[in-house]
A and B are shown apart, each in its own frame.
Chain A
Amino acid sequence: DAGVTQSPTHLIKTRGQHVTLRCSPISGHKSVSWYQQVLGQGPQFIFQYYEKEERGRGNFPDRFSARQFPNYSSELNVNALLLGDSALYLCASSLYGNSNQPQHFGDGTRLSIL
Chain B
Amino acid sequence: KNEVEQSPQNLTAQEGEFITINCSYSVGISALHWLQQHPGGGIVSLFMLSSGKKKHGRLIATINIQEKHSSLHITASHPRDSAVYICAVVSGEGDTDKLIFGTGTRLQVFP
Contacts and interface: CB of A to CB of B under 8 A. Distances in A.
Interface of A: 33, 35, 37, 40-45, 48, 50, 55-56, 58, 88, 90, 92, 97-108, 110
Instruction: Give the top 5 A-B pairs by smallest Cβ distance, nearest first.
Output: A42-B101, A100-B31, A107-B42, A105-B43, A108-B41
Contacts of A90: 41, 43
B43 A99 contact: no
B85 to A, nearest CB: 11
A93 to B, nearest CB: 11
B101 A43 contact: yes
A36 to B, nearest CB: 11
A28 B65 CA distance: 32
A64 B52 CA distance: 39
Give the interface size class of chain B.
20 to 34
B96 A56 contact: yes
Of A48, A97, A98, A104, most buried by chain B (CB within 10 Å of CB) is A98
Interface in B68-111: 86, 88, 90, 94-104
B41 A110 contact: yes
Interface string B18-44: 000000000000110101000011111
A85 to B, nearest CB: 16
Given A40-B103, A41-B103, A42-B86, A102 B45 contact: yes
A95 B94 CA distance: 14
B7 interface: no
B99 A45 contact: yes
Contact of A104 (B45, B88, B98): B45
A50 B94 CA distance: 12
Given A42-B101, A45-B100, A99-B31, A105 B45 contact: yes
